[in-house]
Amino acid sequence: MTNGIPYSDALGNYTPQRFREPSNDQTKTRDLLEQFHPDYMPDSMTTLRVGPNQGDVCHKQLADVLQSDARIEEADLAGANTVETDILVVGGGGAGCTAALTAARNGAKVILATKLRLGDSNTVMAEGGIQTSVEKGDTPQMHYDDTIKGGHHYVDKPLAAQMVMDGPNVIRWLIQQGMQFDVDKYGDLLTRRAGGTSAPRVVYYRDYTGLEMMRVLREALTNTGIEVWDYNPTVELLSNDQGHCAGAVVSSLKNCSYTLVKAKAVILATGGIGRMHLNGFPTSNHFGATGDGLVMAYRMGAKLRDLDSFQYHPSGLAYPQHLAGTLITEGVRSAGAYLLNGHGDRFVDELGPRDHVAAAILRECEEGRGVQVNETTRGVWLDTPGVELRNPGILKSRFPKLLQLGRKCGIDPAQKPLLIFPTLHYQNGGVVIDGNGCSTVRGLYCIGEVCGGIHGKNRLMGNSLLDIISFGRRAGEHAATEVHGRPHSNVSTEHLSELRRQLTLADMPMENQGPMLFPDYAKFETDSDYDGLHKAK
């Protein structure tokens, strides 16, 4: 791995230039992905042996938790408190907040339980912007076509069509919650291009779109009378006699006890899996992104899809080490930043789809044209000084977060390029849903990154912030209507007995327990503060 160009040599050879020749690389996406994308790494995939997706291909690390034993036993719940609500929302990111807000405004009693605090999520870090077709030369059809193409045609078409048609109304709704967007002197929304799109379509607020969205949604939610349970990770769903979802088991990090929440509908908005660090990659994800919702939904019998497809964002910071994995928004490339290898050459269309660009970066590094810091750290340049040279002042006016990151690195992005390397960013697949966010299990809704289908096997920039609001609002409204007047049902953990039976029949190891809740380096399982909540064994 030490065959790259040493960092100091590469930096010494670098000078900012107004223009550099585009890459004439014609490698087909398919070939590039097969050779260099982590999804195609030999031995990283396996076949699921139990559950609704038995026989499907799945990443090994994800399969281990999907086919793990439950964290809780019947006995753990014996003395547990029981609480009733119309709707339980699990997860306090953008999708969860939107669903909770909408359900409450439609008359439902809502509890929102979140593993950490309200707003601790990937939403707050998704700074690039939201896709929606508002420009004259753009249409929802073009947005749809780009989404399908970007997802390599594995997209659930009706979901994508509905989402892009929702786009303009999503922006209007966000403005009505008090979210700001960058506008021109006439007050029109400014747009920028996203990788893999045919028109400028990403609307944004500086490079703080997700932060602006999250603080506004949180403020709106806390003023709506919704009960928020922070530091309350959900560890299991509850089923009723018909096998429908009828609530959840929520644990409290504050008093180390379990609560049974009886709910007429549960909306899972638990996000993705970045903190599983698939294939040993760093991640841009929030600390809590450990795939809990996938595991709980799978045990309830919900069908999942595309479990072999993950997004590695091209521009994760590679150096310095303590910030490795930190995301640099694609907006910087939208603004015209080149990617340069250790020789100072462009090697890919910087605004290609994310999987293509990430694979191209990995190729440069594999083939010795990367920049090598030490044994384990390597990458390519993100040519920020070039952008500044072409548009003086743009970094300060459009990318304050990037400059803040530069200060932490001790690197001024206006003067020196940043070293980047792909970072595990997004779970493309997930729970199968319909247009209202309903999973294949009655009473169980799933929204946001925990779902699959909307983005196929590769998501475009800005389509995630769109999907969380679009589907969050639909699920919240649909669930509130559905639960109206319906009684609570008896709850049990019967589906866990079935899980254990299946695991035993398949001769699967039972040592592994899930959901993960926290990455192992947080040492949750050995932290005496949480003695009551440790795994049953």
Partner 1 sequence: MSETSEQPVNLTINSKSITAPGSLSVIQALWHAGYPRVKSVGCLEGVCGSCRIMVRRADSHELKMELGCQLLVEEGMEVIFLVFPNPTHHTYQLEEIKNSWEVQDKFHQIFPEADHCRHCGGCDKSCPKGIEVERGVELASKGRFGEAGELFVECVMCNFCMTACPELIAPNHVGLFSRRVTAYFHIRPSNLINRLEMLRKGDLQITQ
Which residues are known to be catalytic?
354
Q: Residue 183 and residue 165: Cα distance in Å, rounded?
A: 22
Q: Which of 483, 451, 457, 456 is nearest to 470 (CA)?
A: 451
Q: Which is nearer to partner 1, 173 or 445 (CB)?
A: 173
Residue type, 487: P
The vertex-9 CA angle with 5 and 10, nearest 5°, equals: 65
Cβ proximity to partner 1: between 121 and 493 the closer is 121
End-to-end Cα, the chain, rounded Å? 40
Site for partner 1 in 134-163 (CB under 8 A): 134-136, 139-141, 144, 157-158, 161
Q: By C-beta, is 208 or 281 nearer to partner 1?
A: 208
By CB under 8 A, which span of 42-50, 181-189, 296-304, 459-467 interacts with partner 1?
A: 181-189
Angle (CA) 278-40-430 rounded to 5° is 55
In 3D space, the residue among 333, 102, 19 whose CA is nearest the CA of residue 202 turns out to be: 333
Q: Which of residues 27, 61, 106, 180 is near partner 1 by CB under 8 A?
A: 180
Judged by CB under 8 A, does residue 87 bind partner 1? Answer: no
One of 208, 229, 281, 298 touching partner 1 (CB under 8 A): 208
Sole binder of partner 1 in the list 189, 351, 389, 508 (CB under 8 A): 189
Report the alpha-carbon distance of residue 537 to residue 522 in Å, rounded.
19
Q: Which residue is associated with the tokens 């841009």?
A: 284
Shortest distance, CB of residue 2 to partner 1, whole angstroms? Answer: 17
- Binding residues for partner 1 restricted to 91-130, rule: CB under 8 A: 116-117, 119-121, 124-125, 127
Name, in order, each residue with C-beta under 8 angstroms of 376's C-beta and a sequence gap of 6 or more: 1
Contact 65, 50 (CB under 8 A): no
Identity of the residue numbered 491: V
Interacting residue with partner 1 among 41, 376, 526, 536 (CB under 8 A): 526
Query: Which of 219, 345, 349, 366 is close enough to bind partner 1 by CB under 8 A?
Result: 219
169 touches partner 1 by CB under 8 A = yes
Q: Is 494 a binder of partner 1 (CB under 8 A)?
A: no
Question: Is residue 287 near partner 1 by the rule CB under 8 A?
Answer: yes
Q: Report the nearest approach of partner 1 to the CB of residue 140 (Å).
A: 5
Distance in angstroms (rounded) separating the CA atoms of residues 328 and 349: 17
Q: In the range 330-389, which residues lie near partner 1 by CB under 8 A? A: none
481 scored as a contact of partner 1 (CB under 8 A): no
Q: Which of residues 411-440 bind partner 1 (CB under 8 A)?
A: none
What b/e string do you get for 274-299 counting C-beta neighbours within 10 Å, with b at 16 or more? bbbbbeebbbbbbebbbbbbbbbbbb
CA angle 110, 116, 121 (to 5 degrees): 85
Looking at beta carbons only, is 142 or 351 nearer to partner 1? 142
| Rounded Cα–Cα distance for residues 150 and 309 (Å) | 13
- Tokens in use for 31? 């070939």
> How do 310-317 and 418-427 pair as beta strands?
antiparallel
Of 50, 63, 266, 327, which lies in the binding site for partner 1, with binding defined by CB under 8 A?
Answer: 327
Binding string, residues 382-411; x marks residues near partner 1 by CB under 8 A = ------------------xx--x---x-x-
CB contact set of 90 (below 8 Å; sequence gap of 6+): 96, 112, 113, 114, 234, 248, 266, 267, 268, 269, 270, 293
Among 326, 334, 384, 427, binds partner 1 (CB under 8 A): 326
The torsion region of residue 417 among left (phi > 0), alpha (psi -120 to 50) and beta comes to beta
Pick between residue 416 and residue 488 the one whose CB is nearest to partner 1. 416
Q: Which of residues 222-261 bind partner 1 (CB under 8 A)?
A: 222-224, 231, 253
Q: Which residue, 401 or 495, has its beta carbon nearer to partner 1?
A: 401
Near partner 1 by CB under 8 A, which window of 263-271, 306-314, 364-372, 515-523?
515-523
Taking the complex as a whole, the smallest distance from the CB of residue 209 to partner 1 amounts, in Å, to 11
Residue 460 to residue 458: CA distance in whole angstroms: 7
Q: Which of residues 5-44 bind partner 1 (CB under 8 A)?
A: 7-8
Q: Between residues 288 and 515, which has the closer beta carbon with respect to partner 1?
A: 288
User: Residue 281 or 445: which CB sits closer to partner 1?
Assistant: 281
How many residues in the shown chain lie near partner 1 by CB under 8 A? 76
Nearest-approach distance from CB 144 to partner 1, in angstroms: 5
Minimum CB separation of residue 263 from partner 1 in Å reads 23
